[in-house]
Structure 1
Amino acid sequence: MTKNRLHLVIALAIGAVVLVGGFFLGVQPQLASAASNREQQQSIDSTNDTYRAELARLAAQSAKLPAMRREAAALERSVPSSADTSAFYKEVDGVAASTGVTVSGITTSWAAAYTPPVAETPATTPTDAASPSAAATPSPTTTATPSTPAVTAPVTDAQITASNFSTIAISIDVTGSFEQALAFTSGVQNGERLFLVNDIKSTRAETTDGSATDGSTTDTPAGSGATTWTLSGFIYVLSDAASAQSSQKSESGSGAAADASSTTASKG
């Protein structure tokens, strides 16, 4: 009986060892694998949420793509990567036709490297140093020294440099009334090509016998004549000056620039 009990105890011990070994050898790895799978699932779900958010953002951007392409095309026409002066001449001709002025000439300079604007230092009025005579004669009143006005620094962009941006000086002569010249100036400044007008001058052709400067008779009273308005400014090219000049020479060589200029100058 004691021997049977001993065998039973040994059998129970062996069974316990088998169960414990089976747990560590079979069940525990499965539990660890399940825990690892849950962590991976959570990581995958988080990644999928990130991808879904990015896809939603890209879908929203895609809806804006047509408008962004139109804006990019408008900017390209405003500041092209080549001189493209012939297109600008045609635009000037169209504005002249719509405002009633006559373009008598366009002067175009060679492209120049862009130079960032520099803030001007305000001029200061030096104060007079006290002299013995001034000190001897007291002044009944005290004059306050005017304060120096603040100068606003020009807005610049570090990405725009002489290596990727150039300017072309343009001078346009038109003949017409003040209202016509004003409308023409507004038209060329608000056209497709960016044209910055920085100076306007007027010249009036005086007559003494009521005749025009070309000798033909007019209905205008003596002493009056046509007024010529000269607009000076700049157009811009999104390239260095050498590349812009090369495109100008290419236009001149093909005759496109010369033909457009000639057509505009002789309109009227």
Structure 2
Amino acid sequence: MTKNRLQLVIALAIGAVVLVGGFFLGVQPQLTAAAANRAQQHSIDATNDTYRTELARLAAQSAKLPAMRREAAALDRSIPASANTSAFYKEVNAVAASTGVTVSGITTSWAAAYTPPAADAAAAAPTGTSTSAAPSTPSPSPSPSASAPTPSIAAPVTDPQITASNFSTIAMSIQVTGSFEQALAFTSGVQNGERLFLVNDIKSDRQETTDDPTATSGDGGTTGWTLSGFIYVLSDAASAQDSQASEGASGGTAAESSSTTASGVANG
């Protein structure tokens, strides 16, 4: 091998080593960095897509915010954080005026701690054999008949977040006079008013003013009606009682002030 050929081989080998070394030392790190940048870009794009989706959801919720505030205000008026019985009396008087009944009195009790309703433990009626003794001479039965199934009683709905420490009840009794139709309209009005009023009992005291035995409630007699039920306060009983006492001490007409006794009466 001549000297020139040997130098050429050595130069080619050195060039190959330089190329390989340049690839691993210069090109490969750049390729790795580019791949990492692309992965990071994909991650950023995915995060941005998530943020854009969340922003769109928040924008939609923001559009509903006025309606949600109105709903929250309505719920606050339905079950306020204080007794606020004077506002309820005004509402009762307004419903009475619109339906034509006359409010003769409103009896208000002190607030009591909320007690969750308990399911009634109804004993299951026996559906098998009878407990009576069999007759001495059996009588033939035309065909066996299946006993009707006993309907199940739905359990009361409760919420563990509603307890005696944050919820209380105020027993109310409203006495009005008017016809049957007027009493129905009044009952519907107070049950569907701003303040939640749960009516659990209605009694009537018929006062006849006609001698016609076929007369109905709208034919000439006046009927006294007593609606018993509860309004609710979003606070413990002690705080609700304090607000009742404050309302009673603030003065006002009897139909617009809260009771200051254990079972006071507000006349309409």
Aligned: 1:250 with 2:246: yes
Aligned 8 A contact 1:207 1:225 in 2: yes
The amino acid that maps onto 1:197 is: V
Change (3 A) 1:137 1:153: same
Aligned with residue 240 of structure 1, among 236, 240, 246: 236
SS at match of 1:232: strand
- For residues 162 and 252 of structure 2, the distance between their equivalents in structure 1, rounded to whole angstroms, comes to 29
The amino acid that maps onto 1:233 is: G
- Please, what TM-score do these two structures have when normalized by structure 2? 0.82
- For residues 198 and 51 of structure 2, the distance between their equivalents in structure 1, rounded to whole angstroms, comes to 46
The amino acid that maps onto 2:196 is: L
Aligned 8 A contact 2:106 2:267 in 1: no
Change (3 A) 1:241 1:266: closer
Aligned: 1:198 with 2:200: yes
Name the residue aligned to 1:159: 161
SS at match of 2:23: helix
Moved more, 144-153 or 36-45: 144-153
Aligned 8 A contact 2:82 2:240 in 1: yes
Task: Report the number of matched residues.
Answer: 249
Name the residue aligned to 1:173: 175
The amino acid that maps onto 2:160 is: A
Change (3 A) 1:258 1:16: farther
Structure 2 unmatched ranges of 5 or more: 211-219, 259-264
Name the residue aligned to 2:18: 18
- For residues 177 and 107 of structure 1, the distance between their equivalents in structure 2, rounded to whole angstroms, comes to 21
The CA RMSD measured in Å over matched residues stands at: 2.7
C-alpha displacement at 1:259, in angstroms?
6.1
- For residues 257 and 102 of structure 2, the distance between their equivalents in structure 1, rounded to whole angstroms, comes to 13
Name the residue aligned to 1:149: 151
Aligned 8 A contact 1:252 1:258 in 2: no
Q: Considering fraction of residues, name the structure with more helix.
A: 1
- For residues 59 and 82 of structure 2, the distance between their equivalents in structure 1, rounded to whole angstroms, comes to 34
Change (3 A) 1:28 1:146: closer
C-alpha displacement at 1:256, in angstroms?
5.5
Change (3 A) 1:261 1:183: farther
- For residues 252 and 2 of structure 2, the distance between their equivalents in structure 1, rounded to whole angstroms, comes to 121
- For residues 257 and 11 of structure 1, the distance between their equivalents in structure 2, rounded to whole angstroms, comes to 115
Name the residue aligned to 2:51: 51
The amino acid that maps onto 1:253 is: A
- Percent identity, please: 78
Aligned: 1:115 with 2:115: yes
The amino acid that maps onto 1:243 is: S
Aligned: 1:84 with 2:80: no
The amino acid that maps onto 1:50 is: T
- Please, what TM-score do these two structures have when normalized by structure 1? 0.82
C-alpha displacement at 1:101, in angstroms?
1.4
Change (3 A) 1:258 1:22: farther
